[in-house]
């Protein structure tokens, strides 16, 4: 009897210990993951901030007006401080990374000094422009090296915790790509608004435009929604379609339709008012490329015309893995309206439409009274930095920093190796926006 009790007690103790041990282990793991996440965040933010820093310095180079330049310098200054705080959060205690920090603080000092100066009285001297140019080139190199490291980190799922261990244990001969990569970054340096991510200015209109342009005043019912989605999905059998309604948090009441048929899947949002399509997504395996990006453009144009969007002009096109992505802008009497944008996706294997989003268009579109510009294009050109070689010009309506729509002269120009889009207010000649255009990047996977 006694023996049995003893066994039971011991058994309990063992089970208890095991349970406790397991819990401790779980907790330790959770904390490890959390620490790892903090490091990851600091690192990816560093890479992003350096990217941005590089772009912003480039933009500053292409700017002309001093009213824009001061805020731009402040922006760069802010980015340098963010980037150096990112560096400081990385577990690099044992790795000499001070040159990079020095570089950051150099940029910071320089931009701070120029930002607080009255640039109207004392514009940038040639020397200072030269300095800025050098900083631009140096930041390009750091950006490139960091991206390379970042690619490796993502590709090989590298852990900062391991980096830390490797750094602590100097004897261990580990092949640590992160450390090597960061050392390269450091070596490179030795040799020499974020507020709105500025992804692109398309559709960046003020938030309070609330779906002004919904055709039709009558609300549609579910049957009608079903009919419309059948038509847009191009399928016969409506029993496959599932319709749901939006809740009370939606900005505009909508029906959402989805269907699945084999490996084909579709999703559609249409407004209740008037049954306007807001976004369409079709997912299916894409075969080999049979039609060109250019033919895809024609399909996309036909499609939006059929849906009743008029006067849309192609603004951008890109090819991603056999899919063509197109964005169109509304053009009112030859003036491009940036906030009224529509995006279309075309499969380049057979030309099917894979997606449409008209959210920006529906939110912002209205008939506008576009005034005659007070400033001619050639006058506006004078306002552009004389180093920029202007290649193309348009009239455009964009949203300025305050979220108001303004009429501008838009110029596309080259400065150095980069292309810039520059907007000059057509009423008062103010430089409204300068944007450095990217759009392609080295393919790390192949190189």
* Footprint on residues 326-385 left by other proteins (CB under 8 A): 327, 341, 343, 345, 355, 357, 359-360
CA distance 183 to 370: 55
CA distance 34 to 159: 12
Indicate which single residue of 74, 95, 281, 370 sits in contact with other proteins (rule: CB under 8 A). 281
Indicate whether 443 belongs to the interface with other proteins (CB under 8 A). yes
- Within 13 Å, how many C-alpha atoms sit on residue 70's CB side? 11
Indicate whether 415 belongs to the interface with other proteins (CB under 8 A). yes
Among 86, 97, 74, which residue's Cα sits nearest to residue 49?
86
CA distance 114 to 321: 44
Indicate which single residue of 88, 260, 261, 428 sits in contact with other proteins (rule: CB under 8 A). 260
Indicate which single residue of 27, 102, 155, 190 sits in contact with other proteins (rule: CB under 8 A). 155
Indicate which single residue of 129, 176, 177, 240 sits in contact with other proteins (rule: CB under 8 A). 177
Indicate whether 437 belongs to the interface with other proteins (CB under 8 A). yes
Indicate whether 151 belongs to the interface with other proteins (CB under 8 A). yes
- Rg of the chain over Cα atoms, rounded to whole angstroms, equals 28
Tell which positions 17-36 bind other proteins, by CB under 8 A: 30, 33-34, 36
State the minimum distance, in angstroms, from the CB of residue 401 to other proteins: 15
Please classify residue 60 by burial: count the beta carbons closer than 10 Å to its beta carbon, then call 0-12 exposed, 13-18 middle and 19+ buried.
Answer: buried
Indicate whether 150 belongs to the interface with other proteins (CB under 8 A). yes
Is the CB of 416 or the CB of 429 nearer to other proteins? 416
Ramachandran region of residue 18, left (φ > 0), alpha (ψ -120 to 50) or beta? alpha
Indicate whether 262 belongs to the interface with other proteins (CB under 8 A). no
Are the C-beta atoms of 391 and 414 separated by less than 8 Å?
Answer: yes
Phi and psi, residue 164, nearest 5°: -60, -45
Binding track over 304-323 against other proteins, x by CB under 8 A: ------------xxxxxx-x
Indicate which single residue of 127, 310, 333, 441 sits in contact with other proteins (rule: CB under 8 A). 441
Find the part of the chain contacting other proteins (CB under 8 A) among 87-95, 105-113, 195-203, 423-431. Answer: 195-203
Find the part of the chain contacting other proteins (CB under 8 A) among 10-18, 103-111, 197-205, 301-309. Answer: 197-205
Indicate whether 47 belongs to the interface with other proteins (CB under 8 A). yes
Find the part of the chain contacting other proteins (CB under 8 A) among 94-102, 163-171, 247-255, 426-434. Answer: 247-255
CA distance 143 to 83: 12
Are the C-beta atoms of 422 and 68 separated by less than 8 Å?
Answer: no
Is the CB of 348 or the CB of 407 nearer to other proteins? 348
- The conformation of residue 428, written as its DSSP 8-state character, comes to T
Indicate which single residue of 130, 389, 401, 404 sits in contact with other proteins (rule: CB under 8 A). 389
Tell which positions 87-126 bind other proteins, by CB under 8 A: none
Are the C-beta atoms of 275 and 224 separated by less than 8 Å?
Answer: yes
Is the CB of 99 or the CB of 144 nearer to other proteins? 144
Helices (H), 191-292: 222-233
Is the CB of 213 or the CB of 430 nearer to other proteins? 213
Phi and psi, residue 327, nearest 5°: -125, 140
Find the part of the chain contacting other proteins (CB under 8 A) among 59-67, 105-113, 145-153, 226-234. Answer: 145-153
Facing residues of 346 across strands?
324, 353
Find the part of the chain contacting other proteins (CB under 8 A) among 164-172, 220-228, 293-301, 426-434. Answer: 293-301
Are the C-beta atoms of 243 and 259 separated by less than 8 Å?
Answer: no
Are the C-beta atoms of 51 and 374 separated by less than 8 Å?
Answer: no
Indicate whether 195 belongs to the interface with other proteins (CB under 8 A). yes
CA distance 361 to 287: 31
Indicate whether 84 belongs to the interface with other proteins (CB under 8 A). no
């Amino acid at each position: 009897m006694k023996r049995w009790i003893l066994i039971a007690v011991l058994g309990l103790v063992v089970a208890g210990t095991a349970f406790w041990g397991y819990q401790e282990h779980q907790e330790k793991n959770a904390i490890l993951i959390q620490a790892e996440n903090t490091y990851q965040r600091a690192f990816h933010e560093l890479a992003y901030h350096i990217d941005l820093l590089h772009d912003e310095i480039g933009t500053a180079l292409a700017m002309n007006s001093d009213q824009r330049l001061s805020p731009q310098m402040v922006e760069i200054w802010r980015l340098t401080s963010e980037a150096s705080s990112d560096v400081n959060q990385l577990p690099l205690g044992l790795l000499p990374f001070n040159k990079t920090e020095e570089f950051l603080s150099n940029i910071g000092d320089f931009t701070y000094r120029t930002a607080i100066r009255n640039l109207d009285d004392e514009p940038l001297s040639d020397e200072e422009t030269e300095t800025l140019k050098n900083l631009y080139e140096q930041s390009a190199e750091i950006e490139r090296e960091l991206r390379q490291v970042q690619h490796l980190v993502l590709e090989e799922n590298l852990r900062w915790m391991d980096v830390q261990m490797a750094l602590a244990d100097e004897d261990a001969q580990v092949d640590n790509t992160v450390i090597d990569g960061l050392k390269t970054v450091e070596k490179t340096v030795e040799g020499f608004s974020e507020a709105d991510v500025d992804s692109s200015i398309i559709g960046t209109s003020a938030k309070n435009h609330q779906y002004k342009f919904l055709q039709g005043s009558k609300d549609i019912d579910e049957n009608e929604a079903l009919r419309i989605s059948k038509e847009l999905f191009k399928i016969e059998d409506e029993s496959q379609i599932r319709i749901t309604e939006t809740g009370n948090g939606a900005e505009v009441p909508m029906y959402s339709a989805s269907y699945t048929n084999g490996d084909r899947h579709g999703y559609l949002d249409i407004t209740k008012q008037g049954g306007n399509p807001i976004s369409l997504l079709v997912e299916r395996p894409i075969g080999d490329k049979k039609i060109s990006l250019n033919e895809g453009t024609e399909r996309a144009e036909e499609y939006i015309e059929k849906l009743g969007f008029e006067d849309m002009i192609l603004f951008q096109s890109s090819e991603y893995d056999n899919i063509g992505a197109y964005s169109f802008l509304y053009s009112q009497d030859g003036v491009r309206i940036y906030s009224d944008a529509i995006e279309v996706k075309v499969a380049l294997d057979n030309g099917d439409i894979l997606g449409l989003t008209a959210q920006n268009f529906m939110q912002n579109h209205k008939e506008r009274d576009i005034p005659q510009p007070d400033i001619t294009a050639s006058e506006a050109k004078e306002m552009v930095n004389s180093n920029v070689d202007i290649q193309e010009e348009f009239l455009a309506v964009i949203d300025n920093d305050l979220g108001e729509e303004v009429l501008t002269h838009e110029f596309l120009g080259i400065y150095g190796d980069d292309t810039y889009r520059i907007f000059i207010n057509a009423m008062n000649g103010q430089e409204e926006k300068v944007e450095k255009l990217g759009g392609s990047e080295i393919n790390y996977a192949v190189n």
